[in-house]
Amino acid sequence: MTTANAIFALGTLISWVGWIMGATALFTIFKLTFDNVGLDSKRNMRSLMISGLIAGLSLLATAILPMHAATKDATGFRVPLVWFVMPYSAWLGVYCLFMGAYRSVQAFLGIDKDDRIERMKSCGIWLLVTVAFVWLYRGDPANKITILTGGLWLVPQTMFAIVFLAAAGMAAMVIAGRSTKTRGYAKTIVTQAALLAGSVVFGLPFAFLVITSFKEDKDMSSPNGIVWIPKVQQTVPYFDKKKPLYEGQFQGETVQGTPIETNPDGSIKIDIIKPMAIRGTTFVAAKAALKEVPRDIPIVSGKTNGIEFEGKVIEEMDDGHRRVAFLKPASLAGKEQVFAPAEVENVRHVGLRFQNYTDAIQFLPPETHSGLVYLKNTLILVVMSVLGTILSSSIVAYAFSRMRFPGREAMFAVLLSTMMLPAAVTLLPQFLIFRTLGWIDTLYPLWVPAFFASAFNVFLLRQFFKGIPMELEDAAKIDGCTYLKTFWSVMLPQIKPALAVIAVWTFMGAWNNFMGPLIYVNSPENMPLSYALQLFQGDRTNEPGLLMAFATLCIVPVLAVFFFAQRYFIEGVTLSGLGGR
Amino acid sequence: MKSPRIALALVSALFLLPAFSAAQAQKKRDLVVWGVSLGPETKGTEAIIRKFARRHPDINVRVLSMGAGTMNPQKLMTSIVGNVAPDVIAQDRFSVSDWASRGAFQPLDDLIARDSGKDPLCPRKEQYYPEVWKEASYGGKVYGIPTGADNRILYYNKAIFREKADLLRAAGLDPDRAPRTWSELLKYGKVLTEVDKNTGQFKSVGFLPNFGNAWLYMYAFQNNAVFMGDRDGISGRVCTMDTPEAEQALKFIVDGYDQIGGYEKCKEFESGFLSNENDPFVLGKVAMKIDGDWILNALSRYGPALEIGVAPPPIPDDRYNHTGRFANEKETYVTWVGGFCYAVPRGARNMQDGWEYIKFATSTEGRMIENTAQKKWEQLRGRAFIPRQQGSMEANEALFKAFKPADPKFAAALRQHIDLMPHGKIRPVTFVGQTLWDNHVKAMESACYHKLSPKEALLAAQNVVQRDLDAYFNKANYPIINLSIPLYVGLGIGFIVLATLVVLFLRHRMGNLERTEAWWAYLFVSPWLIGFLLLVIGPMVASLFFSFTQYDVLNEARWVGFKNYQDLGGADWNNVSKGLGNAVFLAALTVPMSLAVGLAIALLLNQATKGMRFYRTFFYMPAIVPGVASAVLWTWVLTPDPNKGLLNAAWLKIVTPLLGLNPPGWVQSADWSKNALVVMSMWAAGSGMILWLAGLKGISSTLYEAASIDGANPRQTFWSITFPQLSPIIFFNAVMGFIGAMQEFDRIYIMKPSSDGPVGPDDSLLTPVYLLFNNGFAYFKMGYSSAIAWLIFGIILVLTFTQFKLAPRWVHYESDK
């Protein structure tokens, strides 16, 4: 066993050399692709060759070594790897220790005294940090380091395929490197491929969202992974003689339902099936007011007496059995038979289940008019917030940047300092203030504060106002404009791009606002979309199709705005990120 | 200025909408009912409401779920405080005493006395199981009328018992019956657990103490543990979690996990499954579980062929044998009963109609209507129906008679539940019910994870609860404080500010022109100034003031001095440090990683000649998806079940075969929940990309030219030019990232797996703002939550100052010349 272990250890070492060399080779490939290295390229090419060769050889060596003697399973090649499983604090400690050692070596090799001192200092700091992390690590008794030996199992075919692919890739790179023109193409291809791969990764959750919103319940969970191609049940229209489906008017809505009983006067009591929100409600209507409509019944397939058939389910029984009227083959057509649930299978074809969307909307409380009220509330919130922010912030910023008045500097300093104030501090008292005003369960607490200018926007707009030449304003004053007029007609148009950016931010903030509605809004008719979606999620945890449909409906308007105002969104990020400058 | 005009037109149009709807308002009286969900599982409740509406055509019943089932305490609280409370609320019974003690619910005794004997629907005390009735009362008054009730029994899979009969017999156990005592339960559990020899993973598990629904409460009740005790003649004055009885129960739970490989491994096993058709019990992966009657319908639907057996939940050996402490004990089997009730919050505007509704819904007639409708609904979909248990004995028997399941095994299960009802114990009726519950869960988790010994865990939980008890009972020690004081202080500050301005203005010698300019300027600045005084300075003073008080908003405030701040660093330090630690963790991973991902994409995009605009749009898109929608989406993407969750489906196909690592439990696992948020943030790294792109473009090309003339290699160029030039972005983002992580709230609120108890498994998702929210709105500690707010503010201040002080050392600003 000792020999086997020795071979295992050797193999581990060689495999690590192999991996590292492989990584070097890959790195060199990237370097050759992306950098204008020119003079260096020969050297790089050589290093690529060498590292690639070593990588291939050592990986091959580990694959050939009889390493499996030390392990249980012997199918394929096992490329051994050692995993250190430890907490982040330990990893950081190791990293800092390494950096400390690295700096001390550097200090030893330093050119002059200053250099050495500088590096010793840095070494000291790294070691101090190491101590801190070790302390952190030791602080939690649950922390432990586990060393796991594991491995990559490769069958010979995959192994060789990898080697060949690597060789082919290198060769392609060499050829590509020969001529600058083809190299340009190679670069483009690599870049585009990487970007496409990235787009797929970033797009997958979106695709998942949209596709799930069109799936039937039975496709939500599948042992073979995610179902990407939605299928829908195939149906045929059918007039049921025993249990007809009627369409009629109930409280101004068109409803469908089945009759429960016929009264002596000929009127019929109807049990509503559609729309979902009032399903199960009954009402009485005159026969004349009702229209019989076909119901969509599912098509199933199965086998009876060894004959494969297709048929429509004309009755779903209480115990799960289904009465099927045969459609195909012709020899059976017109006959009926009862099957147990397991004997027949639903016939489904590739398609989208739009019913998820209609169902989702029908499940919303009736007072929200199919969710339109949510949209209205969100729009009120967005429009008022944007309007308020732009008007108030710009006029305040104008005063701070272009007008002189006593206390300006002091007030501006105070304004700047409020930028740091977290909303959490004022959360509760503001709630109490709005309660005194009787504004709980209204939208006012969510948009009225926008009219009082936010510090950050004022700060930003002030910078923009400062960039406008004085001459413009002076000209306006000479023409006899009042301050308000100057501001409105001369200055404001000058900062339109900045205003657009602020508008876009405020739009996003208002559309996303969740904690506000969570605290202030209680009844459905005052709810904005964000909070409605969260409540919807709570009620529909077992119906992902409906949930995803509603989520899609909430996202689409934002994406639409984004496509039209893309430029401002992107400028906005840039401004916010550099705001600290 | 075309666009503002359009916007104005739009706004006015929008404001007309409510005017129209108000014009056609109905004359019916509104009755607002909260906490009832209207989904496929609660068609019966819908039927009750419809029937009620038909009997009372003048009442318009409006139902709202508000997070159904687990009534969101914050919603209820803000509505009561804001005078827009609902008229009726479906409330978990154990928390009724929390609300009642603070005067947030109205006692129903007068109404019961008025109607009893006159109205056949009026609830009668003797109709209900005594414990169930007691749970919805507080201080001798009735605050809620019970609806459903749920107790726990042992379910076991007879097929597994038969399959492993030889193994069981070899261990001296009887394969034909269920375990009766704790020690038997452990033995059965160990024998029935099967481990895959190659992977070390569970093939199937015998018994997991808290899989299903048992918690520490049930085992503790069985061992006669009492969580609340008396002192000085006041009942419920002390918390007695740290007793030998409770410790034994907790030790039993820990042993149950340890004997088959530990809590973490078991949790990992559990998180691979979900409910319904993926319930491991239905799949035959778990042999025994303790659960409530709510699983019966799912079992009949998804595992009709499952050979289930039922038995009372196993009890301590001494109790079964009537030896030791239990020598004189009369009751043998004991379980835990919970459930819901209807209550009336303070400030309900339509109490009379609300009472009519409660009477109707809780009556046996109402219960029958509910179950009949639900049965009809299930039948329409070809499914069997099993009635739910009720808090009323009368209703329970009536329902069993009317809806006895056809399948004898389900009938036996339902009968077992009903027969055990009189032996159901309730959670302590105390005004700290929520705190007690949350901390009992925390104690259980930290003992199971072996972070603390059972005794230490219980003691820690007891201390937290006791602190709240002391604060409540000792409140007479603290003076009541007039809440208008902060108002006066705020007004005073406002006056001083205004006075200073006036003085400044007067002392300034100005010409006419300047004076006009100053007037206009003050006018222009006034929106900010007013907002600052009303919405910033005023609230800041008030918040600072609250942080020195004990205040639950519903009652008067009491001045406690620095106590809240002492608690921050002392008694509550565990939670505070956990919250800060989580924020540091989140920031430490999210900020560098999203910057790195952003940089990678930005470098690629800088290379791309074609399609740059398209890719930029595409990568940026996730960053603008509304937060709530993206949290909803990611809840599904991160579902641990690889049959449903996008990420784990991919993990199972790619990572597992390569590295042999099992898919993680993401938000359902204490170790992975924060990583789940980090992964989610990576998706939105597009905003980082834009920053980098802008930064990269902003670097003057002359710098690079100079470098290439000097013969710098690409690495040197990066470290000497690119990095210093981009350092402001990096630094700014690091600080903003931490500030953001401390205030992380929305997505955790939406994504955390359980609606109460710890925030994420083992509190792994608790952030400082979440801590503030919980203390303020779930535990009624507004004063303490204000202190947390000031802690957050303090940290942000320190960080910002450090940023300004330290930044020049390594951050390169172009303007520093």
> What are the structural domain ranges in chain A?
2-192, 231-350, 366-578
pLDDT at B2 over 60: no
For A534, how many CA atoms within 13 A lie in the half-sphere containing its CB?
Answer: 25
Q: Determine contact: B813 vs chain A, CB below 8 A.
A: yes
**Most A-contacting residue of B20, B506, B624 (CB-CB within 10 A), to test interface:** B624
Nearest residue in chain B measured CA to CA from A427: B539
Assess whether the previous peptide bond of A275 is cis (omega < 30° from 0): yes
CA distance A468 to B612: 32
The stretch A324-348 carries a mean pLDDT of 82
**Most A-contacting residue of B628, B671, B775 (CB-CB within 10 A), to test interface:** B628
Q: Please tell me the predicted confidence (pLDDT) of residue B600.
A: 79
Give phi and psi for B224, each to the nearest 5: 60, 25
Q: Which amino acid is at B619?
A: F
| Residues in B touching A75 (Cβ below 8 Å) | none
Q: Determine contact: B573 vs chain A, CB below 8 A.
A: no
CA distance B506 to A421: 32
Name the residue facing A428 among B75, B546, B601 (closest C-beta): B546
**b (16+ CB within 10 A) / e for A493-520:** ebbeebbbbbbbbbbbbbbbbbbbbbbb
* Comparison of pLDDT for A191 and A580, the residue scoring more: A191
Nearest residue in chain B measured CA to CA from A80: B659
Q: Look at residues A32, A81, A23 and name the one whose alpha carbon lies nearest to residue A55.
A: A23
Q: How far is B799 from chain A (nearest CA, A)?
A: 10
* % residues pLDDT > 70 (chain B): 91
The stretch A207-212 carries a mean pLDDT of 90
* % residues pLDDT > 90 (chain A): 8
Q: Residue B53 corresponds to which tokens in the numbers above?
A: 């509406």
Tens-place pLDDT, residues A554-574:
888 888 888 888 777 777 766
How would you classify the pairing of strands B202-212 and B228-231?
Answer: unpaired
Nearest residue in chain A measured CA to CA from B682: A202
Nearest residue in chain B measured CA to CA from A89: B585
Q: Please tell me the predicted confidence (pLDDT) of residue A162.
A: 64
Please report the sign of the dihedral spanned by the C-alpha atoms of residue B745, residue B749, residue B753, residue B758: positive
Selected residues 609-628 of chain B with any CB under 8 Å from a CB in chain A: 609-611, 615-628
Question: What is the value of pTM for the model shown?
Answer: 0.77
| Residues in B touching A544 (Cβ below 8 Å) | 636, 644
Q: How far is A501 from chain B (nearest CA, A)?
A: 14
Nearest residue in chain B measured CA to CA from A228: B646
Name the residue facing A539 among B7, B68, B542 (closest C-beta): B68
Q: How far is A102 from chain B (nearest CA, A)?
A: 17
Q: Please tell me the predicted confidence (pLDDT) of residue A181.
A: 44
For A366-578, the fitting CATH number among 3.40.225.10, 2.40.110.10, 1.10.3720.10, 3.40.50.2000 is 1.10.3720.10
CA distance A269 to B725: 78
Name the residue facing A452 among B14, B528, B691 (closest C-beta): B528
> Is A261 exposed, middle or buried (CB count within 10 Å of its CB: 0-12, 13-18, 19+)?
exposed
pLDDT at B567 over 80: yes
pLDDT at B493 over 90: no
Q: Looking up tokens 């009472």, which residue turns up? A: B355
Cβ of B65 and A188 within 8 Å? Answer: no
Please report the sign of the dihedral spanned by the C-alpha atoms of residue B301, residue B306, residue B311, residue B314: negative
Cβ of B643 and A225 within 8 Å? Answer: yes
Q: Please tell me the predicted confidence (pLDDT) of residue B69.
A: 46
Rg of chain A taking only CA atoms, in angstroms: 36
pLDDT bracket for residue A180 (50, 70, 90): very low
CA distance A384 to A4: 75
Q: Determine contact: B405 vs chain A, CB below 8 A.
A: no
Q: Determine contact: B485 vs chain A, CB below 8 A.
A: no
Q: What's chain A's average pLDDT?
A: 79
Cβ of A515 and B78 within 8 Å? Answer: no
Tens-place pLDDT, residues B116-127:
888 888 999 999
pLDDT at B571 over 70: yes
Helix (H) or strand (E) holding A233: strand A231-233
**Most A-contacting residue of B525, B574, B606, B690 (CB-CB within 10 A), to test interface:** B525
Q: Please tell me the predicted confidence (pLDDT) of residue A429.
A: 87
3-state secondary structure of A127: helix
Q: Please tell me the predicted confidence (pLDDT) of residue A552.
A: 92
* Comparison of pLDDT for B516 and B662, the residue scoring more: B516
- Chain mean position to CA B469: 23
Cβ of B539 and A430 within 8 Å? Answer: yes
* Comparison of pLDDT for A526 and A158, the residue scoring more: A526
Q: How far is B175 from chain A (nearest CA, A)?
A: 32
Name the residue facing B626 among A205, A407, A554 (closest C-beta): A554
Cβ of B622 and A205 within 8 Å? Answer: yes
Strand ranges (E), A263-393: 268-274, 282-285, 291-293, 295-304, 307-316, 322-328, 336-339, 344-346, 348-350
Q: Look at residues B737, B724, B743, B751 and name the one whose alpha carbon lies nearest to residue B788.
A: B743
Name the residue facing B524 among A395, A414, A525 (closest C-beta): A395
| Residues in B touching A579 (Cβ below 8 Å) | 732
**b (16+ CB within 10 A) / e for A50-80:** ebbebbbebbbebbebebbebeeeeebbbbb
Cβ of B382 and A317 within 8 Å? Answer: yes
pLDDT bracket for residue A581 (50, 70, 90): very low
Q: How many CB atoms lie within 10 A of CB A210?
A: 17
Q: How many CB atoms lie within 10 A of CB A252?
A: 5
Q: Residue B653 corresponds to which tokens in the numbers above?
A: 């196909």
Cβ of A152 and B658 within 8 Å? Answer: yes
A152-161, A539-548, B549-558 — which is least confidently predicted? A152-161
Q: Please tell me the predicted confidence (pLDDT) of residue B85.
A: 87
Contact A519, A431 (CB under 8 A): yes
Q: Please tell me the predicted confidence (pLDDT) of residue B414.
A: 92
Q: Residue A118 corresponds to which tokens in the numbers above?
A: 């500088």
Could you tell me the domains of chain B?
27-148+341-376 (3.40.190.10), 150-338+404-475 (3.40.190.10), 479-559 (no CATH), 570-785+798-810 (1.10.3720.10)
Tens-place pLDDT, residues A494-528:
888 888 888 888 888 898 888 899 889 888 888 99
3-state secondary structure of A301: strand
| Residues in B touching A530 (Cβ below 8 Å) | 626-629
Q: Determine contact: B39 vs chain A, CB below 8 A.
A: yes
Cβ of B619 and A198 within 8 Å? Answer: yes
Q: Please tell me the predicted confidence (pLDDT) of residue A151.
A: 57
The stretch B187-214 carries a mean pLDDT of 86
A263-277, B484-498, B516-530, B627-641 — which is least confidently predicted? A263-277
Q: Determine contact: B514 vs chain A, CB below 8 A.
A: yes
Cβ of A319 and B382 within 8 Å? Answer: yes
| Residues in B touching A538 (Cβ below 8 Å) | 37, 65, 67-68
Q: According to the 3-state scheme, what is the secondary structure of B180-238?
A: CEHHHHHHHHHHHCEECCCCCCEEEEEEEEEEECCHHHHHHHHCCCCCEEEECCEEEEE
> Which residues neighbour B353 within 8 Å (Cβ) at sequence distance 6 or greater?
B29, B31, B56, B59, B87
> Which residues neighbour A182 within 8 Å (Cβ) at sequence distance 6 or greater?
A175, A176
Q: Determine contact: B373 vs chain A, CB below 8 A.
A: yes
Name the residue facing A220 among B501, B539, B644 (closest C-beta): B644
Selected residues 153-182 of chain B with any CB under 8 Å from a CB in chain A: none
A182-196, A446-460, B131-145, B306-320 — which is least confidently predicted? A182-196
Q: Determine contact: B484 vs chain A, CB below 8 A.
A: no
pLDDT at A490 over 80: yes
Cβ of A574 and B617 within 8 Å? Answer: no
Q: How far is B99 from chain A (nearest CA, A)?
A: 18
Q: How many CB atoms lie within 10 A of CB B175?
A: 19
| Cβ-based contacts under 8 A for chains A and B | 393
Tens-place pLDDT, residues A359-415:
888 778 777 778 888 999 999 999 999 999 999 999 999 999 888 888 888 888 888
Contact B48, B366 (CB under 8 A): yes
Q: Determine contact: B11 vs chain A, CB below 8 A.
A: yes
B17-21, B287-291, B567-571 — which is least confidently predicted? B17-21
| Residues in B touching A542 (Cβ below 8 Å) | 39-41, 276
Q: How far is A331 from chain B (nearest CA, A)?
A: 30
The stretch A25-32 carries a mean pLDDT of 71
The ipTM value here is 0.82
> Which residues neighbour B646 within 8 Å (Cβ) at sequence distance 6 or greater?
A204, A205, A208, A226, B636, B637
Cβ of A195 and B81 within 8 Å? Answer: no
Q: How far is A539 from chain B (nearest CA, A)?
A: 6
Assess whether the previous peptide bond of A329 is cis (omega < 30° from 0): yes
Cβ of B543 and A425 within 8 Å? Answer: yes
Tens-place pLDDT, residues A96-124:
888 888 888 888 777 778 888 888 888 88
